[in-house]
Amino acid sequence: MKTSILTSLAFFTSIFALSQNYTVELVKDINPGSGNSSQFLAYKTVYNDKLYFSADDGTHGLELWVSDGTTEGTQLLKDIFPGSQNGVPREFGEFNGKLFFVVDDGVHSAEPWYTDGTAEGTYMLKDIHVGGPDSASRPQWFAEINGKLCFKAFDGIHGDELWVSDGTEENTYMLADIYPGEEASTPFRFTKAFGKLFFSAKNDIYGREAYFTDGTAEGTQILKDINPGSARSDAEEFTLFDGMLFFSADDGVSGRELWVTDGTEEGTVLFKDINPGSGDGSPIDFVEFNNRLYFSGNDGIHGDELWVTDGTSENTFMLMDINPGEGNSSPLEFTEANGKLFFRANDGVNYFQLWATDGTTEGTYMVKAINDYIDHPRRIIEYSNKVYFRAHDEENGIQYWISDGTSEGTEMITLNGLTQYDALTGDNQYAQVYGNSLYFFARFTEEEGLELYKLTDSDMSVSEISEDHIQIFPNPSDGIIKIKNSDSVIRKVEVYNPAGIKSAQAEFNSKEIEINLNGKPNGIYFLKIVTDKGVNYKKIILKK
């Protein structure tokens, strides 16, 4: 059976043009009116091809929501803390085919839960800190190792310690009391390497040092007492590179410097004394790019600057003195996109701005002078070979920006010319890539609250996710276009012009449809085709 779209299809105004290749769309007005639906997009994850996040619809409080990217597919999964109180689901981690998280149900306080993506399949894993609504176990840092889930938790007796679970209540228990008794070892930032999880923890014997676990009690040990005795090395920033685990630590002699380990005590050594003597080299924020490891370091002469290593001590050096002399450029938030490594830095003249490097000194440059605010740009993430970030300018305050690595290709994201109504702070600043779009919470008018939006790169959609089982013909067309899908039923088609503005849409229930675009001028258009198995994009040309 064939179905037609008439030339009188309705226009819709929920999508606005950003530029020639982008559209910004309100996913759903979760909390109607001026109420905020969420301030916590930091509490989000992608699981089983859907976006999970914390949101408030004005009735149920901050609870667990799920979205497939459509308005109708964005809904409350479960009201875990019944009524208008906030459950605040957070600390998401996937394990054994389920999504684990932390939430308060109003009875047990903040405890570990899991879901299979259905309301009926959403349960509390275990009441670790027994004692009612004011007794929280505060789980954090979910990480899988050797078929087990490790995390930090507090049972009210032993302090914050290392726990483990196989996904069942009966096999969820404290793995090691690293700091015996009521004191907390506070393990954090688990990094997988060599079949183990490496992390930082403390006790009264060794101070805070590097530890590892293979998921068993006997396999949970201190890696090395780097700063001997009860003094602390504060080992952290574990990063796997070139078959070795790099990290930052202080041995009490050389200051905080760059260390490396092969997972053994004897193979844990000082890699390079960046700031010779007892001064701190302060290596932080490691990231691999083009087979080299980049980080922020301080040699005691040039301040905190951009450093790089190929995995050998002799080829570990400052790439560029961005803030000349003793001043700190403080490069942070390294993000790879479009063959470049983006980061934020302060050259001492232009304040903190977006920078980029191709790995060479001459190829390291400030992308554009935008910012006039000490704490921005922030939350730099990659999407569609570009970076998205928060930046502050004098006229518009804190806004989302986009950059391809050139000054002219760096612009503020707006909705039909509207900037965000007020500055978002804290966890609001996070965006999340899901499917073929970038999701974020925003508020664009005084009348609306913070709601969920998505930005879609039309070029990426057309070139990267078009499916062969969808046929469009003729193309170019004089206005009548046939669409066949051999794989599944077509449910909806949306038509976009090159500016990214949706001009028409209609719903279907067939594998073979026909659309009539005779009323539209010649040119390029994009079709968003929604089927039972997902969303596909096609480019068409009208030539009459």
Query: With a cut of 50, which residues of the chain have pLDDT below it?
Result: 1-20, 423, 425-428, 461-466
Residue 518 is predicted with a pLDDT of 83
Residue 504 is predicted with a pLDDT of 80
Residue 13 is predicted with a pLDDT of 31
Q: Which residue has the tokens 């979760």?
A: 30
Residue 258 is predicted with a pLDDT of 99
Contact 537, 527 (CB under 8 A): yes
Backbone angles phi, psi at 464, to 5 degrees: -110, -20
Collapsing DSSP to helix, strand or coil, 463 comes out as: helix
Contact 514, 480 (CB under 8 A): yes
Report the candidate in 313, 373, 319, 317 with the shortest Cα–Cα distance to residue 346. 373
Residue 500 is predicted with a pLDDT of 57
Domain residue spans of the chain: 470-542
Report the candidate in 525, 506, 505, 516 with the shortest Cα–Cα distance to residue 482. 516
Over the range 506-525, which residues count as b (16 or more CB within 10 Å of their CB) and which as e?
bebeebbbebbbeebeeeeb
Cα angle, residue 75 at apex, residues 117 and 421 outer, rounded to 5°: 130
Establish how many alpha carbons lie within 13 A of residue 307's alpha carbon, considering only the half-sphere containing its beta carbon. Answer: 30
Collapsing DSSP to helix, strand or coil, 451 comes out as: strand
* Residue 140 in tokens: 């954090």
A 10 A CB-CB count for 391 gives 27
Q: Which residue has the tokens 């008794």?
A: 181
Q: Whats the size of the chain, residue-wise?
A: 544
**In whole angstroms, what separates CA 474 from the centre of its chain?**
41
Percent of the residues in the chain that have a pLDDT greater than 70, as a whole number: 89
Residue 254 is predicted with a pLDDT of 97
Residue 421 is predicted with a pLDDT of 55
Residue 506 is predicted with a pLDDT of 83
Contact 14, 28 (CB under 8 A): no
Contact 227, 207 (CB under 8 A): yes
Backbone angles phi, psi at 111, to 5 degrees: -135, 165
Q: How far is CA 172 from CA 131, 158, 197, 340, 542, in A?
A: 18, 15, 18, 43, 61
Residues 6+ apart with CB under 8 A from 320: 305, 306, 357, 361, 364
What's 470-542's CATH class? mainly beta
Backbone angles phi, psi at 461, to 5 degrees: -60, -45
